[in-house]
Every structure is written in C-alpha cells, then in structure tokens.
Amino acid sequence: MSLPSIDLSSAAELVRAVGAGETTPAALLNAARIRAEAAGHLNALISLNDHAETGAAAVQSRLKAGERLPLAGLPVIVKDNLNLSGTRTTCGSRMLEHYVSPYTATAVQRLLSAGAVIVGKANMDEFAMGSSGESSAFGPTLNPWDTSRVTGGTSSGSAALVAAGVVPVSLGSDTGGSVRQPAALCGVYGLKPTYGRVSRYGLVAHASSLDQIGPLARNAADLALIMNVIAGHDGRDATSLDAPPAFVAGTPEDLRGLRVGVIRESLGGNTAGVSAVLNATLEALRGAGAGVGEVSLPALKHAIAAYYLISMPEASSNLARYDGMVYGTREPGADVLGSMTRTRERGFGREVQRRIMIGTYALSSGYYDAYYSKATRVRRLIAGEFSAAFGQFDVLVTPTSPFPAFRLGEKMDDPLTMYAADVDTVAINLAGLPALSVPAGFEEVKGKRLPVGVQFIAPALQDELLVRIAGGLEGIGAVRAEVAPGQ
C-alpha cells in the first residue's frame, strides 16, 4: 500500500500547516486512515469514527469563519473507554460490544472544541484491566517494534498507533501505569497527570480513586499542546482540580540545577538493557548540569499489594452496574437472576472476572479491615514518603518497566508475574502524582531493538515541570521517539 507523503509525526507542525492553508483537515484524516489500514496487522483499532469526515468539514468551516483553533484538523485516536457521542464505546469487552455512547467525555469534547478530528477508538485491555494489551475481547494489540511481543497495557492501541506513525498523539487512561507502560514498551512519550488535573467525566471507570486520562505523543511539544487543551477544571467531575494548564516544552536550560533523585528500590530486578538506558539518562542529566542522587522509599515494597487491594475492590464496585438489565450485553435466563449470572459470565473475560471476585472478597464482611482498609493505610504511607523525598529533590526517576516488551502469551497464565510488571508505576497512582515516561533508548533482544522508557515523577500539580524536562532531554539528544521500523 502506498502511504501518503504527509508527515504525521508532529502534531504542532500539522496544526501549523492547516492554519497556513498548506493542507486541510480532510487530507490529514485521509492520511491517518490510510496509515491505520496499513497498520491493521497490529490490531490496534477497535473502530473507526463514522462521523470523522463531518467533523473534518466542520473544522474547515470554522477556520474559514476566522476561528482560531489550537488543534485545527489534528487527527487523534482515543482509547475505547472514552465516550464519544454516536460511536461505540466497548472498553475492549463483549459486555459493551454494541453499546453506542449517548454523550462525549469532557477530555474528548475539549479536543473536538479545539479543532481535533477523532479518527477512531483504540484497542485496550478489557475494562482497562491488564498489563500487556492481551486481555481485550477483540484480540491482543501487537507491538510495532516486534509483532511477536506485547505493547504493554492497558492503553495498548493508543501507544501502538502513535509508535507506528498512524497519528501523532492519542489519549489513554492510567490507573496503575496504563499510559506509561505501553508508552515505554512502544517507544513514545506517555504522561500520567496529577489525579484530578484532567476531567474523568465520560471515562468508563475502572478504579475511581486511581484513574486519570493522559496523552501519548512523539515529542514534548505535542504533550504540551494536548495538555493545554484537555487539562483544567470541570464541574461535572467532583474530583476535578482548579489548576489551569500552562505547558511548554522545555530547553536544556531547564535541566541546569535540577535536583534528580533516583529511587533506590527501583534499581534491582531490571534487565541489563534497562539498567544501561537508565544510567545513560542519568549521565546525560549530569552532563546538562543536573544534580543526581539516590533516595529510598521503603514503603514501595508494599505498593503492588496495596494497589491491587484498592483497585480490585473499586473495580468490583464499578462493574456491578453491568448486569444486562439496562444497557450492554444481555444473555437470556430462566429468571432475572439467571439472566444476570449468564450475562456477567459470558460478557466479562477471565481477567475481569478474576478481579471482580478478588475485589468482592476483599470488601466482604470480616475481610474489609484485613485487606482494603489496611491497603488504604499503606497508600497514605507511600504518599508520605514521596512527599518527604520531594523535600530533597525536584523530581524522582525510575525505569518505567523493569524489562522491555515480553512475548505474547508469556505471562498470561501467571497473574502474579503479570501484575509485577507494574512495579515501577502503581505507587504514583496511589499517591496521585504526575509521572512521565520518556523514550530513552533500546535494549537488543534476539536481534530486535526493543524500546526502553525512563520515568520521571514530580510533586502534585507539577506536571508542567515534567514536560519541560522532556523538552530539555530532547534538546541534548538524550530522548527521542522513533517510528517503529517497517511502519
């Protein structure tokens, strides 16, 4: 298939080109769709937006009327747990396979209002539960760097489509690393904002105290562009913060004098390639004038256990609404109870059923205090240790994942090993902090270059600092997102 000559790697450049009349929203949409078709073997899309042409035409009309649009004509793909009116929102599940959204999520509406065109909905782990992109009812998303390997999860399609050059930016959601981990394994940027910085209205809930919408992109400037649109207070989300965005991509000067703390507990258990990439990034920071030291957060050893003992009960509560009685899949039964039982048995996949069962158990009488309540106390302890560490350092650093992308099926039959893949990311959600995975290098595995991400963590509401650091690292050549080979 002949791919269009339009370069889809920079959102800022595409917006500039549309504004200058060098291209049109319709042309960008067409280019993205052609590239999506060429990348179909990745199984990264669940659906295309049938209303996209109308949207592109509307953007062109608004431009002709003199309206200034910060995302004019920009093709964007969003994770399929974000509602878009008139389109299917499946959450990667048979339970919602035919569900059509009657409304639009705030973050998506802000993209549209700014002139973006939604190309389609990205594949994902079912109901955002998974660490590899393999639990989708519509099949796994394949990593564009090596299609025998996973993308990471749960924003699997969102990461793969940016890495493959289909669109320059996408939206995902992050409950315990679901933006950052696939970003790292696919070699792109992934930002998990401060909890409440981006409205969750219209995001299908997984674990409500942990979920946060975030962008994936190929450079720091595009992260800033998207965050300046989607961040900000929303009265329809009770957890939304009144913190107006002011994002800019930084320069190497932003690294001078920066106090960087490497979390000691994250230095063990990494592959040799991950350790080498982390060390190279730290050396680059030192060379740019940053101070680098170590800091210990002992409570992090409990983060995985605390995270799953909080997220699973919240998921169990949130997914109770999917009983086939009001919307979504409905299976026939001898009576109402029989119908509900069959609906939930057939509508939910194995991983979702596992988490509902464990979560319900942890909330049951006699076990609440032993599990969920204790996990919330550990959560406060972890948040306190982060707060103390930020008294010494401006940002903290870890690998995003202790290993690059693993082979499809490698961990599917061992849930505990799969859950451990999130060891470097879950604590940030527990503490409600912002974190950014940057594409910092590669590890060669059996002749294939596999991307490695490095994670920067900032104090609450210091999201802008992370994007400035990313721009600074780009400026010294320490990080760079490449289009996956063959795409």
Residue labelled with tokens 């009349």? 21
Enumerate the H helices of 114-260 as residue ranges: 156-163, 180-186, 220-230
**Averaged over 260-272, what is the pLDDT?**
97
The residues spanned by each domain of the chain are 11-230
User: Per CATH, which fold does 11-230 belong to?
Assistant: Amidase signature (AS) enzymes (3.90.1300)
Under the banding of pLDDT at 50, 70 and 90, the label for residue 1 is very low
Tell me how crowded residue 278 is: count the other CB atoms within 10 A of its CB.
24
User: What tokens were used for 54?
Assistant: 């109308």
pLDDT for residue 324: 87
**Averaged over 436-456, what is the pLDDT?**
97
Under the banding of pLDDT at 50, 70 and 90, the label for residue 23 is very high
Q: How far is 399 from 282, CA to CA, in rounded Å?
A: 11
142-146, 209-213, 271-275, 370-374: range with lowest mean pLDDT: 370-374
68 contact partners, CB below 8 Å, separation of at least 6: none
388-391: list long-range contacts, CB under 8 Å, 24+ apart.
Answer: 389/261, 389/263, 389/295, 389/297, 390/459
Upstream peptide bond of 154 is cis (omega within 30 degrees of 0): yes
Under the banding of pLDDT at 50, 70 and 90, the label for residue 2 is low
- How are the residues of the chain apportioned to helix, strand and coil, as percentages rounded to the nearest 5? 40, 15, 45
Q: How far is 409 from 413, CA to CA, in rounded Å?
A: 8
**Averaged over 230-257, what is the pLDDT?**
98
Under the banding of pLDDT at 50, 70 and 90, the label for residue 349 is very high
**Averaged over 348-354, what is the pLDDT?**
95
CA 375 to chain centre: 24
**pLDDT at position 154 over 60:** yes
Under the banding of pLDDT at 50, 70 and 90, the label for residue 3 is low
**Of 137, 44, 47, 43, residue with least CA distance to 353:** 137
Instruction: Report phi then psi at 403, rounded to 5.
Output: -150, 160
3-state secondary structure of 271: coil
Contact 200, 211 (CB under 8 A): yes
**pLDDT at position 8 over 80:** no
